[in-house]
């Protein structure tokens, strides 16, 4: 499934998850220099309790906390992958 389709589904069922995932995807691209795949995003959302940075970005998006979003974006670890 293309990542845009996955994000569109998220927008329908959980707008905050959609916004947080989009912010995570943008931050990933900026920090890691490559696009986040749909599979990586799905793993980050679903494995265990979810990737802590992504979960934090979802929470910050819900609260419209731009300072937390920026702080969390700087914590993405490209060497660990999405977990």
Residue 78 has pLDDT above 90, yes or no: no
- Looking at residue 71, its pLDDT comes to 97
Provide the whole-model pTM. Answer: 0.87
- Total number of residues shown for the chain: 83
Condensed to tens digits (0 to 9), the pLDDT of residues 24-75 reads: 999 999 999 999 999 999 999 998 999 999 999 999 999 999 999 999 999 9
Structural domain spans, the chain: 3-73
Distances (CA, A) of 23 to 65, 74, 75: 12, 12, 13
């Amino acid at each position: 499934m293309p990542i845009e389709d996955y994000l569109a589904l998220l927008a329908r069922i959980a707008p905050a998850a959609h916004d947080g995932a989009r912010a995570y995807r943008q931050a990933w691209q900026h920090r890691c220099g490559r696009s986040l795949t749909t599979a990586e995003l799905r793993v980050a959302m679903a494995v265990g309790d979810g990737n802590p940075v992504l979960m934090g970005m979802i929470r910050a998006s819900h609260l419209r906390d731009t300072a937390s979003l920026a702080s969390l974006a700087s914590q993405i670890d490209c060497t660990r992958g999405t977990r």
